[in-house]
Structure 1
């Protein structure tokens, strides 16, 4: 039972890793862009995670982790920020390879404005709850930056498409983590609304995690193109 969270991490990355050598996607050739994106984003989210453990926003059930900790965080939680982003960026690249048209790009700006409005509303609604405030505050900043400030990648339609598909494994994996539960939430620090066993905020935690990884991934790819031209 103590290996449950570790096995979930392995299951999350197993198929994306094996399928990284697919001839059409050729994802393994992009590892040099994926890895720095994952490491930088992972560092940010690990600091966030550590803060939330200290603030008792969430904790981890000792019955389902191996007991190895770094800076107070279980090994499995650290691996989570490697396995999940890798799988999500893999989904993003697969969709781009097999469905390259972006005819719905024109609607992504309106969708971003809708999510930005939701972030502001949630900040007012949950202003005294740590998870709600930090989660929606961070998403607000990242989303506004990518959509309004750094617009050259035109990635938002592709991002929303990948996010929508990523919600399928998200409901399976996070549903399992919260149902057992492996992760224990302090409901005084969130809105208390759940989709099944999954806190409402988790959906937008995934959005922020995925958006930061994909933005950095595209950033590192664009730098390599510029260097090749020069």
Structure 2
């Protein structure tokens, strides 16, 4: 990061470098947030990697579990966290947070309906159930408020998720039994996988915000 110094003269002819202090504080906080992002991405990514491994054991994922897939979810979660942090710093306005609960309730209703009609399919069950439980917890039990910023990061993160997941399917690192899915694809990606990614990113962002709240001096939720 470049350092731009605004020198303000005092009456006695000395100078005050205001922006040096500001930039040093920014760099210090950014390094701390990196240290909080990494464990959040690792915990969330490995948890959802275990779900993917379970899908292999259940015969839903027809291609054996690979080290590429083991790394894929933590890396994807970390990229999502970076998008989240970048958007929060670049666009700090949070006025739309007041609409996030209504959108979450809509998702809870849609997800519950999908789960009700597709619970016999393993991919649907393991994609929707973790998301619904986590979404309910974040909105109705958790005290940290960041859901508008999460949704913003999720939709921006799809620009990373879609090509990355498409490549995994195209090169046959991942493949699913059609009978265990809704048989509804967006591109070559099963519809459920978009909600799987949403659940993973939500868990990563929640952990990131939780870790930040334990270090309250480094900023409020979302920043």
TM-score, normalised to structure 2, is: 0.81
**Residues 25 and 93 in structure 1, CA contact (< 8 A), matched pair in contact too:** no
Task: Map 1:112-191 onto structure 2 (within 5 A).
Answer: 112-150=104-142, 152-191=143-182
Partner of 2:192: 201
Instruction: Quote the Cα distance in structure 2 between the aligned partners of 1:141 and 1:120.
Output: 10
- Whether 2:79 is the aligned partner of 1:87: answer yes
Unpaired runs of 5+ residues, structure 1, are 1-22, 61-71
Aligned pairs, number: 194
C-alpha displacement of 1:25: 11
Partner of 1:64: none
Instruction: Quote the Cα distance in structure 2 between the aligned partners of 1:48 and 1:116.
Output: 21
- Whether 2:103 is the aligned partner of 1:100: answer no
Partner of 1:43: 46
- 190-199 or 27-36: bigger deviation: 27-36
Instruction: Quote the Cα distance in structure 2 between the aligned partners of 1:156 and 1:177.
Output: 29
Distance 1:134 1:25, change over 3 A: farther
- Helix, strand or coil at the partner of 2:175: strand
Distance 1:28 1:86, change over 3 A: farther
- 161-170 or 180-189: bigger deviation: 180-189
Listed one character per residue, the Cα deviations across residues 79-124 of structure 1 (whole Å, up to 9, x for unaligned) are 1122111110000000000000011111111110111011111111
C-alpha displacement of 1:226: 7.0
**Residues 42 and 82 in structure 1, CA contact (< 8 A), matched pair in contact too:** yes
**Residues 44 and 74 in structure 2, CA contact (< 8 A), matched pair in contact too:** no
Choose the corresponding residue for 2:201, options 176, 201, 210. 210
CA-atom RMSD in angstroms: 2.2
C-alpha displacement of 1:24: 7.9
Partner of 2:3: none
Instruction: Quote the Cα distance in structure 1 between the aligned partners of 2:110 and 2:28.
Output: 34
Partner of 1:13: none
Partner of 2:216: 225
Instruction: Compare CA radii of gyration and give the structure with the larger one.
Output: 2
Choose the corresponding residue for 1:109, options 97, 101, 109. 101
Instruction: Quote the Cα distance in structure 2 between the aligned partners of 1:175 and 1:132.
Output: 19
Unpaired runs of 5+ residues, structure 2, are 1-25, 219-223
